[in-house]
Amino acid sequence: MRIRPVGSIVAGIAVVALSFGTARPALAQNSTARGPYKVPRTPDGLPDLQGIWQVRDTSAAYDIEDHAGALGIPPGRSIITNPADGRIPYKTGALAKREENFKNREMADPLNKCYMPGVPRITLMDYPFQIFETPKYTLITYEYIHIYRTIFTNGTQHLEGLDWWNGDSRGHWDGDTLVVDVADFNDQTWFDASGDYHSDKLHVVERYTRTGPNTLQYEATIEDPETFTQPWTISINLYRHTEPNFRILEYECQAYADEAAKSGGQ
């Protein structure tokens, strides 16, 4: 279990030094000997990102920064590509709440109450999701507690005054990349299971780029002037399920929790 040095500049520098240069490079497999990967098109002529996708590096869902393994926690490298030290650029004083969250994570992690994970955490979780495209909407349906996100690609703007777990997603195509601007968040979700958090000023810009027949690069730039000193970016690879009978099923957290409570009470 990683313990983050709190308030110790010296220790902080040491950690920065240790992790310097280890930030995960963005997926760079979008070219082959035969030239760059040509993203196929849907029948509507859109870059085709459709399919069932899932992370392979499941450690980021536990902690998006560099961390060692612990009981039930797979070790992993930071998925933060900016800043280069791979650390979340918390403002002075903001780390204390993260430490508090970490300490109380069993009760405090919204996922342990079956709440919606928010963005980008939902992408990092070890459950598949499916992308569908139509000219006006890109729809992402997640196996985890049947969440779906309707990404408007019809030129509409964010609504105002919302306060949503998964935010309000408006997208556009930047070449072959789907760019999704997500705003209108509440302050209730975390980035991972280690207590990394944000305020309701969170603003996320996601970029979905297909880099091969079975790979997608997912990048998210995270802005929250109340919590961070600067915007920061994560990048992780998604892999397409090619098993012919693979399906999005159901993971019904609340129903299972109720079941467990019932059988525990008998």
Residues that bind other proteins (CB under 8 A): 42-44, 50, 113-116, 130, 132-134, 137, 139, 141, 146-148, 150, 152, 156, 159-166, 186, 188, 245, 247-250, 252, 254-255, 258
Identity of the residue, 101 or 141, whose beta carbon is nearer to other proteins in the bound complex: 141
Q: Which residues pair with 237 in a beta bridge?
A: 217
Place of tokens 């019932």: 262
Identity of the residue, 54 or 150, whose beta carbon is nearer to other proteins in the bound complex: 150
Q: How far is the CB of 40 from other proteins (least distance, A)?
A: 12
Q: How far is the CB of 35 from other proteins (least distance, A)?
A: 27
Place of tokens 């495209």: 133
* Residue 16, φ and ψ in degrees, nearest 5: -60, -45
Identity of the residue, 25 or 45, whose beta carbon is nearer to other proteins in the bound complex: 45
Q: How far is the CB of 3 from other proteins (least distance, A)?
A: 31
Question: Would you give the distance in Å from CA 11 to the centre of its chain?
Answer: 28
Identity of the residue, 185 or 232, whose beta carbon is nearer to other proteins in the bound complex: 185
Q: How far is the CB of 115 from other proteins (least distance, A)?
A: 5
Place of tokens 């000997």: 33
Which tokens go with 96? 């204390």
Burial of residue 201 (CB within 10 Å: 0-12, 13-18, 19+) is middle
